[in-house]
Structure formats: structure tokens, C-alpha cells
């Protein structure tokens, strides 16, 4: 559908094309220093959550009372409570129509909270946002036969608490992290640069020690290993790091450390809004067995979507453990047990199940497209 300029549309901070690249081609753009000189005229504004939470005063200059504000939080929906609070405040104080598009199941939240914004939600949006051809976070996989030469792998990027705790478990258990092209990597960079973020590393270690999550011996183990962190990529621009699943030198098991892994400000796990990123999608695209070091209820939500998590192989009793650190240790116990099995033979005997998971990614992405298509027809 090619939409003309019967409605004046602004793409605030380069956000529109991720979900709407198939549908909308004619719009103004505000990104970086490219400032459109058309304040107060836009019928529709597409914005990232940052535009709402951090730059709303700037965004507001482009609005008029009847503006439809469409907030796309897909691929960045972690710790979503803060965004929801801001949206509720905007709806109380401004006249705009507001639509939130989020890649999570918001059914319980919407049932238990009175909101004035429209909410387009569902995990299908995560698959569409991460796999469609226009996405800035596009996640793809090679075609052809995958070569499974490792038992396990774990690629860990920006520095986060759960990644340091995973590293600690590898060190304490003396689990081999490989040689050469590492099947396990901890590329712990900061949000600003790709160089190893030693100061953030030390700060997280100090915090974990101060709240008694780790011991003095753990601190010494982490600090002794710090200079020897295995890197997978080393480049000057984070956007050069590929987001593509490769068919070569792949492992059967993928230990996935998601961006969030705790309840954050929500202490009641039943009220927690579970979200995930491309990291969760990749093992399904690459035909792997995932072990998630991620947020509460992640495995439950993936099963509801139809994914096979190989319950005949993995004992998921750790899911009932509420303490996130204990749950991590239980997952590592189970991981080590599985390593003693013939994991290559298991994958060979169950190849159709892995294929089904990969096909499900495509079906869910198509559902996400259909949701956006319907939204366009009804609203724009």
C-alpha cells in the first residue's frame, strides 16, 4: 500500500520503517541534524520510546491537537513500566490520540489497568520487527545445511549483570570456553563504545558483592579473568557486528543471555511483562536447543506461542524458582548434565522438531505483518 501525503506524516528519530517500511513511503524525517521546518502541522508522528521518555518536549513542537502519536517500542520493550507511566501521563495532559505498539503480551496489564491509549500488542510483533526486510534489527539465517561442530555456544555482547554471573558460573565450574573462534564469548562493551568496559565491569562486580550475591572468592575469580576475556568481534562500529545466523561452526546448544533477567521494579512475578529480543529468536532460526538466562516466564510464553523447548531433554523444574540467582545456578546444573549426553545424536534424531521451530518464526512474523496491515487500513 503506497500512502501519499493526504495526511502529513513525520518519522521522528528514524523509527517508521522498522514496522511500516512495507506500507508508508511518503513522509518527513527528523533524525540527527536533519530537522524538518514544519512545526505544528503533522497529522501522524511515529516515534521510538526514547522520543516519548527523553525528548517529548522536542517531539511536541511538531504536533497539533489532533495529532495521532504512534509509539513503536518493538525491539526495545525491556523494563516497559517506565514507558507505560509516561504514556498514561501524556494521555491525561494532552489531546493527542496515542497508539503504543509493543512486542509483548499486554492482555493482563490492560485488563487490570485503565489506560487511555490504544495498544497493539503481541509477541508476533517481536518476530516481525526482528525479521522483516526493513528492520534495523533484522535477524536472518543462511540457507543450506548447518554444520554443528560444537556442543554449546554463548555469545554475550554489552555488559550486563546476568552475563557476568554466567561468566562466573563458567569459571567456577571450570567449563571449557573453547579455543580459536570461541563457542563462548563475552564481548563486554559499554553503550558508548566497543572497547571493553572495565569500569562498568568493576562497578557491577562491586554491586554484586555489596548485596551478597557473590563472595570475595568470586570477585577474585572474575577480576583475575578480566584481562583474558574472549572476544568474537572487534570493530570500531557496533553496527558492523553482523546480526546473521551463520551455517558454519555452530553449536547444538545456545545459552542465551537476554537483555533483562530480573523483575526490575515489579516485585510480583505474576504482574511482570515478559519481553525478549532477537537473542531469543536466533536459536530457533539456527536449529538449536536454547537455554535462556532471561526474564521470568520467558519459557512459558514461548511454549504458548508453540515453540518446542525440548522438555524431554531438559528438566525445566528450575522455572518454579523465584530467586533469579538460584535459578541461574539450577540452569547451569542442568546444562552440565546435558553435556554428558550425546547431544549430536539427539539433534540428528529430532531434526524435524528443530525445523518446525524455524518455520514457526516465519509464521509468527507473517502474523505480525498482518496486524500492522490491518492497523494501516483502519487508521492511516
Task: Clarify whether residues 191 and 333 are in a common domain.
Answer: yes
Task: Clarify whether residues 107 and 22 are in a common domain.
Answer: yes
Q: What is the pLDDT of residue 307?
A: 98
Q: Which of 275, 373, 380, 374 is nearest to 22 (CA)?
A: 373
Task: Clarify whether residues 112 and 169 are in a common domain.
Answer: no
Q: Within a domain: residue 322?
A: yes
Is it the case that residue 234 has pLDDT exceeding 50? no
Could you tell me the CA-to-CA distances from 301 to 141, 224, 245, 307 in Å, in that order? Answer: 23, 38, 23, 9
Query: What is the average pLDDT across 54-63?
Result: 92
Q: What is the pLDDT of residue 13?
A: 79
Contact 30, 12 (CB under 8 A): yes
Q: Within a domain: residue 367?
A: no
Beta bridge partners, 47, equal 12, 71
Query: What is the average pLDDT across 268-277?
Result: 76
Q: What is the pLDDT of residue 110?
A: 94
Q: Within a domain: residue 294?
A: yes
Query: What is the average pLDDT across 213-223?
Result: 94
- Could you tell me whether strands 68-72 and 140-141 are parallel, antiparallel, or unpaired per DSSP bridges? unpaired
The better pLDDT of the pair 221, 260 is held by 221
Task: Clarify whether residues 146 and 79 are in a common domain.
Answer: no
At which residue does the C-alpha cell 564469548 appear? 185
Which pLDDT band holds residue 333 (cuts at 50, 70, 90)?
Answer: very high
242-277 as b/e: b if 16+ CB within 10 A: eeebeeeebbbbbbbbbbbbeeeeeeeeeebbbbbb
Which residues are CB-neighbours of 292 under 8 A, at least 6 positions away?
256, 258, 280, 298, 299
**Would you tell me how many other CB atoms lie within 10 Å of the CB of residue 142?**
14
Is it the case that residue 326 has pLDDT exceeding 80? yes
Classify the C-alpha dihedral 246-159-78-21 as positive or negative: negative
Task: Clarify whether residues 116 and 151 are in a common domain.
Answer: no
Contact 82, 53 (CB under 8 A): yes
Cell representation of residue 47:
516515534
Query: What is the average pLDDT across 104-113?
Result: 93
Q: Within a domain: residue 374?
A: no
Q: How far apart are CA 260 and CA 190, in angstroms?
A: 16
Could you tell me the CA-to-CA distances from 79 to 97, 110, 355 in Å, in that order? Answer: 24, 16, 32
Is it the case that residue 7 has pLDDT exceeding 50? yes
Which pLDDT band holds residue 15 (cuts at 50, 70, 90)?
Answer: confident
Percent of the chain, pLDDT > 90? 53
Give the domain CATH number at 69.
3.40.50
Q: What is the pLDDT of residue 342?
A: 95
Number of structural domains, the chain?
2
Q: Within a domain: residue 4?
A: no
Is it the case that residue 263 has pLDDT exceeding 60? no
Q: Within a domain: residue 368?
A: no
Q: What is the pLDDT of residue 4?
A: 47
Q: Within a domain: residue 292?
A: yes
Q: Within a domain: residue 373?
A: no
What's the chain's length in residues? 380
Q: What is the pLDDT of residue 271?
A: 67
Q: Average pLDDT over the chain, rounded to whole?
A: 85
Burial class (CB in 10 A: 0-12, 13-18, 19+), 221: middle
Q: What is the pLDDT of residue 229?
A: 60
Q: What is the pLDDT of residue 180?
A: 44
Question: How many H helices and E strands in the chain?
Answer: 14, 12
Q: What is the pLDDT of residue 262?
A: 63
Domain-terminating residue out of 88, 122, 156: 122
Q: What is the pLDDT of residue 304?
A: 96
Is it the case that residue 224 has pLDDT exceeding 50? yes
Task: Clarify whether residues 194 and 326 are in a common domain.
Answer: yes
The model's pTM = 0.88
Task: Clarify whether residues 178 and 309 are in a common domain.
Answer: yes
Task: Clarify whether residues 184 and 327 are in a common domain.
Answer: yes
Domain-terminating residue out of 54, 89, 122: 122
Supply the range of the domain harboring residue 181. 142-360
Task: Clarify whether residues 185 and 275 are in a common domain.
Answer: yes
Q: How far apart are CA 171 and CA 25, in angstroms?
A: 51
Please, which contacts does 56-65 make with residues 24 or more away whose CB atoms are closer than 8 Å?
56/86, 56/90, 59/12, 60/94, 62/10, 62/12, 62/30, 62/36, 62/38, 63/96, 64/40, 65/95, 65/96
Is it the case that residue 238 has pLDDT exceeding 50? no
Which pLDDT band holds residue 223 (cuts at 50, 70, 90)?
Answer: confident
Task: Clarify whether residues 190 and 76 are in a common domain.
Answer: no
Q: How far apart are CA 349 and CA 281, in angstroms?
A: 22
Task: Clarify whether residues 52 and 95 are in a common domain.
Answer: yes
Which pLDDT band holds residue 283 (cuts at 50, 70, 90)?
Answer: very high
Angle at 93 between CA 53 and CA 103, to 5 degrees: 40
Q: How far apart are CA 138 and CA 93, in angstroms?
A: 36
Q: What is the pLDDT of residue 248?
A: 62
Task: Clarify whether residues 94 and 153 are in a common domain.
Answer: no
Q: Each residue of 137-175: pLDDT tens digit?
A: 788 776 667 788 888 888 777 788 888 899 899 999 998
Is it the case that residue 330 has pLDDT exceeding 50? yes
Which residues are CB-neighbours of 126 under 8 A, at least 6 positions away?
74, 75, 77, 103, 104, 275, 276, 277, 281, 368
The better pLDDT of the pair 3, 283 is held by 283
Q: What is the pLDDT of residue 296?
A: 82
Q: What is the pLDDT of residue 249?
A: 65
Contact 166, 328 (CB under 8 A): yes
Amino acid at each position: 500500500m503506497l500512502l501519499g501525503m493526504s495526511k502529513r506524516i513525520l518519522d521522528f528519530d528514524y523509527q517508521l520503517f522498522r514496522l511500516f517500511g512495507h506500507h508508508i513511503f511518503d513522509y518527513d524525517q527528523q533524525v540527527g541534524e536533519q530537522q524538518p521546518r514544519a512545526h505544528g502541522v503533522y497529522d501522524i508522528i511515529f516515534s521510538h520510546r526514547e522520543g516519548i521518555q527523553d525528548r517529548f518536549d522536542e517531539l511536541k513542537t511538531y504536533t497539533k491537537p489532533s495529532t495521532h502519536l504512534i509509539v513503536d517500542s518493538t525491539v526495545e520493550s525491556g523494563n516497559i513500566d517506565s514507558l507505560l507511566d509516561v504514556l498514561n501521563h501524556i494521555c491525561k495532559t494532552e489531546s493527542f490520540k496515542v497508539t503504543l505498539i509493543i512486542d509483548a503480551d499486554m492482555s493482563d496489564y490492560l485488563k487490570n489497568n485503565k489506560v487511555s491509549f490504544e495498544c497493539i500488542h503481541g509477541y508476533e510483533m517481536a518476530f516481525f520487527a526482528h525479521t522483516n526486510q526493513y528492520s534495523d534489527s533484522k535477524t536472518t539465517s543462511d540457507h543450506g545445511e548447518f554444520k554443528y561442530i560444537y556442543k554449546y555456544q554463548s555469545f554475550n555482547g554489552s555488559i550486563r549483570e546476568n552475563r557476568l554471573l554466567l561468566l562466573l558460573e563458567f569459571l567456577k565450574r571450570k567449563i571449557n570456553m573453547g579455543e580459536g573462534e570461541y563457542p563462548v564469548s563475552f564481548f563486554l562493551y559499554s553503550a558508548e563504545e566497543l572497547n571493553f568496559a572495565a569500569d562498568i565491569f568493576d562497578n557491577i562486580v562491586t554491586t554484586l558483592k555489596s548485596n551478597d550475591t557473590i563472595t570475595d572468592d568470586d570477585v577474585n575469580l572474575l577480576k583475575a579473568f578480566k584481562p583474558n576475556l574472549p572476544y568474537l568481534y572487534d570493530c570500531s562500529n557496533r553496527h558492523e557486528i553482523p546480526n546473521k545466523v551463520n551455517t558454519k561452526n555452530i553449536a547444538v546448544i545456545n545459552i542465551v543471555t537476554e537483555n533483562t533477567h530480573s523483575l526490575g521494579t515489579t516485585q510480583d512475578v505474576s504482574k511482570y511483562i515478559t519481553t525478549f529480543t532477537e537473542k531469543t529468536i536466533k536459536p530457533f532460526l539456527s536449529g538449536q536447543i536454547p537455554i535462556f538466562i532471561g526474564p521470568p516466564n520467558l519459557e512459558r510464553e514461548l511454549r504458548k506461542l508453540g515453540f518446542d523447548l525440548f522438555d524431554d531433554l531438559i528438566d525445566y523444574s528450575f522455572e518454579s524458582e523465584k530467586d533469579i540467582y538460584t535459578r541461574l545456578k539450577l540452569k547451569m546444573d542442568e546444562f552440565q548434565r546435558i553435556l554428558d549426553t550425546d547431544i549430536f545424536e539427539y539433534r540428528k534424531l529430532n531434526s524435524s522438531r528443530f525445523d518446525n521451530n524455524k518455520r514457526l518464526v516465519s509464521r509468527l512474523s507473517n502474523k505480525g505483518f498482518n496486524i500492522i496491515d490491518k492497523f494501516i487500513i483502519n487508521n492511516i
